[in-house]
Amino acid sequence: MLFTIAWRNIWRNKRRTLIVLSSVVVGVVALIMNDSLSIGMIRQMFENQLGSHVAHMQIHKRGFNDNKVIQSVVPDQKRVEEALRSTPEVKYFSRRVVTFGLVSSAINSSGAAIIGVEPDREPNITIIKKSIIEGRYLSGASHEVVIGKKMADKLSVGIGDKIVGMASTVSGAVGSDMFRVVGIFRTVSSEFDKSYVFISLGNAQEMLELGKDVSEFAIILRDRGLVEMVKSKIAARLGANYEVLSYADLMPLILAQMQMYKESMFIVYIIIGLALIFGIINATLMSVFERMQEFGVLMAIGMKNSRLFYMIMLEALVIGVLGTVVGMVVGLAMYLPLSAYGIDLSMFSESLTSFGVGSTIYPVLTLQSIVGILIVIPVFAVLGALYPALKAIRLEPVSAIRYV
Amino acid sequence: MNIIEIKDVEKTYHDNGVPVHALRGVTMTVERGEFLVIAGPSGSGKTTLLNVLGALDTPTKGKVYLEGEDLSTKSRNEIASIRLHKLGFVFQAYNLIPVLSALENIEFTMMLRGIPEKERHERAMALMEELDIAELADKRPNEMSGGQQQRVAVARAMVNDPSIILADEPTANLDTKTGANLLDLMQRMNEEKNLTFVFSSHDPQVI
């Protein structure tokens, strides 16, 4: 019966209830959109880095990741290949030479990460081949280069133009070679597009006097979730001369960002919750003051304070739950199409691509977010009713009945 | 047997720092089955006395005993429980719960006592029939006349079989005929069920 009373009381002043409900609904929708957009953005950033270069795992000579010098080469490629081939969780792998140098055209020059790749294997590892917007990917023929759109713009080169790559060789001399641009790629990260160039592994080894040596193995697993297990397995097999790194080891910044985001979400929850609390305090206070006489009568006919307190809190809880459910339905109705088709933010594409996100954001709503919202908002609604409820039960029945 | 006994009760309010003596040394007893009216002009302290008798207000001085129990020793929750189990109230402005129907209003105090839904429904309906208000069962207070609301309020006060029903100017908001009918009803319940009534009035016709 108390629920019936609470429910009917809520609808005594429909306009006020609808205003409070709307604020709860807007709060829930704001949380859903904020959560899903932010998670979507960070995930896209993460996936893009993973797909453009990092892969699920990398194997180097120990110390390479901290100090990427060209002399630091994988000690025994055969051993690594055997380890990878005998690990069923490994889906693809590819060898790379990684160095940093200078690329120049007749007009301009730019610092770049020069990556020597196996043209037949690398497309299984990264999205560069799929990101070609002009020309084609490396064929395996000699002296071909694929560069990013930003780099092409900076060097003022197009398909068929020549550029010169320069970098330190193993002996410490400066190695250089001329390459013909066969493809221009564009990923969602403009930073990546202006700083990476891809040549064939053979050309890189030749230019840098590496012989048959390589800097790293990039690996894609059948299931990314198994990365830590596979990493330990392969690391144990290869021994101390090698470093086996997971994407988490290779992209600590993005993972830290994801963690930081989770923590900052807590603050957003508090801010939206506080806004809700004040709305609910206001509405509940008005409702309590309007019904002071009624509460006096309820106390006079024997209602205990605890029950009266519960009744007022129940009203706020019902509004909180109702608003959260409606907000969740509205939020999901907005979220589902957006998560499928993405949100086109091309007007901010300059800043978004510099963060490696892309101009279309696909929001991602996690179960954790849904559960969090379903719990947090009703709790805030109840907290908002705390003060008015305490105020009501502190009154003496006789003063409440006389309350004007 | 005394249901209520008050001894040397005083009640002083402070109106902007000025003491107002609403009750001065009142001593009285109410016995079971009495039909008692507290009469007097407006401002004479009738409502204050009823509030003290009904444990809605505490006296500044003096003692109030309900069935021998000293109310001044009771906690707020114990007093609420006493009001629920031993007292019935009828207010001048009816004071039914606006969001509940007449039947639900009568059932409400039984709900507070933890009486199962089926039993409280049957008891409330039986009482409504006895008071000739069964046709009001589904009506909300705003759909009833003042007289009808006050009869429902009497039913609400009676339904828990209280030791005493306290009514503060129950006819003040009613026309003469409706007020007389209500008094008849209360008197009938007093005679048939030996219910104790104490009510206040300033209306010479009622007195």
Tell me which residues of chain B, numbers 71 to 100, contact chain A at a CB-CB cutoff of 8 Å.
Answer: 76-77, 80-81, 83-85, 87, 89, 91, 95, 97-100
Return the residue in B94, B112, B150 with the most chain A beta carbons within 10 A, the one to mutate for interface testing.
B112
Check CB contact under 8 Å for B91 and A297. Answer: yes
Tens-digit pLDDT profile for residues A215-274: 999 999 999 889 999 999 999 999 889 999 999 898 888 778 778 877 787 788 788 878
Q: Residue A257 forms beta bridges with which residues? A: none
Whole-number pLDDT of residue A269: 78
CA quadruple B54, B55, B56, B59: dihedral, nearest 10:
110
Average of per-residue pLDDT values in chain B = 88
Whole-number pLDDT of residue A355: 61
Q: Which of A293, A300, A304 sits opposite B89 (nearest CB)?
A: A300
More confident residue, A404 or A403: A403
Whole-number pLDDT of residue B130: 83
Check CB contact under 8 Å for B80 and A12. Answer: no
Residue written as token pair 């709305």: A279
Q: B2-201: which CATH architecture?
A: 3-Layer(aba) Sandwich (3.40)
For chain B, list residues with pLDDT below 70.
206-207
Q: How confident is the model at residue A43 (pLDDT cuts 50, 70, 90)?
A: confident
Whole-number pLDDT of residue A218: 96
| ipTM of the complex model | 0.87
What is the distance in angstroms between the Cα of B88 and the nearest Cα belonging to chain A? 7
How far apart are alpha carbons B36 and B57 in whole angstroms? 20
- pLDDT of residue A135 exceeding 70: yes
Strands A90-104 and A109-117: antiparallel
What is the distance in angstroms between the Cα of A291 and the nearest Cα belonging to chain B? 10
In A90-241, beta strands by DSSP E: 90-104, 109-117, 132-135, 144-148, 162-168, 174-185, 196-200, 216-221
Closest residue in chain A to residue B48, using alpha carbons only: A398
Q: Which of A4, A297, A398 sits opposite B95 (nearest CB)?
A: A297
Chain A positions contacting chain B at CB under 8 Å are: 1-2, 4-5, 8-9, 12, 293-294, 297-307, 396-398, 401
Tens-digit pLDDT profile for residues B114-172: 999 999 999 999 989 888 889 999 999 999 998 899 889 988 988 888 889 998 888 88
- pLDDT of residue A316 exceeding 90: no
Are the C-beta atoms of residues A215 and A64 closer than 8 Å to each other? yes
Other C-beta atoms lying within 10 Å of the C-beta of residue B77: 11
Whole-number pLDDT of residue B92: 84
Average of per-residue pLDDT values in chain A = 88
Q: Which of B56, B84, B111 sits opposite A397 (nearest CB)?
A: B56
Tens-digit pLDDT profile for residues A4-41: 888 888 888 888 888 888 888 988 898 898 888 888 88
Q: How confident is the model at residue A358 (pLDDT cuts 50, 70, 90)?
A: low
Closest residue in chain B to residue A7, using alpha carbons only: B99
Tens-digit pLDDT profile for residues A85-109: 999 999 999 999 999 999 999 999 9
Check CB contact under 8 Å for A302 and B80. Answer: yes
Tens-digit pLDDT profile for residues A46-99: 888 888 888 999 999 999 999 989 999 999 999 999 999 999 999 999 999 999
Domain spans, chain A: 2-49+254-402, 63-239
Return the residue in A301, A308, A318, A395 with the most chain B beta carbons within 10 A, the one to mutate for interface testing.
A301
- pLDDT of residue A44 exceeding 90: no
- pLDDT of residue A352 exceeding 90: no
What is the identity of the amino acid at A177?
D
How far apart are alpha carbons B155 and B126 in whole angstroms? 10
Chain B residues within 8 A of A12 when measuring between CB atoms: 98-99
Are the C-beta atoms of residues A37 and A344 closer than 8 Å to each other? no
Distances (CA, A) of A386 to A309, A322, B169: 9, 18, 36
Q: Which of B54, B91, B108 sits opposite A1 (nearest CB)?
A: B108
A·B CB contacts under 8 A: 68
- pLDDT of residue A169 exceeding 80: yes
Q: How confident is the model at residue A351 (pLDDT cuts 50, 70, 90)?
A: low
Q: Is B115 on the interface with A (CB under 8 A)?
A: no
Whole-number pLDDT of residue B102: 94
Single out the residue of A398, A299, A298 nearest to residue B80, CA to CA.
Answer: A299
Check CB contact under 8 Å for B95 and A5. Answer: no
